[in-house]
């Protein structure tokens, strides 16, 4: 992956990856002010809303993957709990609320430095509508899921594991990492 972190956010100086005493990783160090910049993965949080044998998906109105369907999710903000972030994203993308939110899938995509923390929750009522980042919001049962029109592999894994859980009457939490959708 191309290293896009080239300039120090403190002083604008150039940065270089260097070995730091007692650190196992190379770190970005500013050549001018010597500040050490720790770059760590981002957390994407989201919740799959459940209504009986159906789940609620949102069609993306923004890039990347505009027009594709997704489990409502987005980057966690500073100052919120991970489940609050999931509920906020659901509200922003689908104007929907869930209760009984519970952990469902921890999904690492090491190559792009993301960790998805996805929940399941029970849709509180049938009032939902597209938020500003969505063009459509819809309930799907398992046979209706648009598998070839899902935005991200995280959504495909999340939905698949949900229906498996539901068949097994289970709340099993799944720990997975990126695989190509064709191998699901």
- Residues in contact with Zn ion by CB under 5 A are 8, 10-11, 13, 30, 32-33, 35
Nearer to Zn ion, 32 or 129 (CB): 32
Nearest approach, Cβ of 27 to Zn ion (angstroms)?
A: 13
Nearest approach, Cβ of 37 to Zn ion (angstroms)?
A: 9
Cβ–Cβ under 8 Å, residues 135 and 102: no
Q: Which two tokens stand for residue 131?
A: 């938020």
CA-to-CA distance for 68 and 134, rounded, in angstroms? Answer: 10
Nearer to Zn ion, 26 or 110 (CB): 26
Nearest approach, Cβ of 33 to Zn ion (angstroms)?
A: 3
Nearest approach, Cβ of 2 to Zn ion (angstroms)?
A: 21
CA-to-CA distance for 20 and 24, rounded, in angstroms? Answer: 8
Residues 6+ apart with CB under 8 A from 38: 27
Q: Which two tokens stand for residue 124?
A: 């509180």
Nearer to Zn ion, 10 or 17 (CB): 10
CA-to-CA distance for 151 and 59, rounded, in angstroms? Answer: 9
Nearer to Zn ion, 30 or 105 (CB): 30
């Amino acid at each position: 992956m191309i290293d896009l972190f080239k300039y120090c956010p403190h002083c604008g100086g150039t940065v270089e990856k260097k070995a730091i005493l007692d650190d196992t990783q190379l770190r970005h160090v500013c050549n001018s002010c010597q500040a050490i910049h720790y770059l760590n993965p981002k957390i994407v949080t989201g919740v799959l809303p459940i209504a009986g044998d159906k789940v609620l998906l949102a069609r993306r109105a923004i890039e990347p993957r505009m027009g594709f369907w997704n489990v409502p999710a987005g980057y966690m903000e500073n100052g919120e709990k991970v489940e609050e972030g999931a509920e906020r994203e659901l509200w922003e993308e689908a104007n929907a609320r869930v209760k009984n939110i519970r952990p469902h899938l921890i999904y690492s995509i090491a190559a792009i430095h993301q960790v998805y923390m996805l929940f399941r929750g029970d849709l509180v009522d049938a009032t939902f509508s597209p938020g500003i980042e969505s063009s459509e919001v819809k309930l799907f049962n398992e046979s209706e899921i648009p598998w070839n029109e899902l935005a991200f592999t995280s959504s495909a894994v999340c939905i698949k594991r949900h229906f498996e859980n539901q068949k097994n009457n289970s709340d099993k939490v799944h720990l997975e990492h990126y695989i190509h959708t064709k191998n699901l």
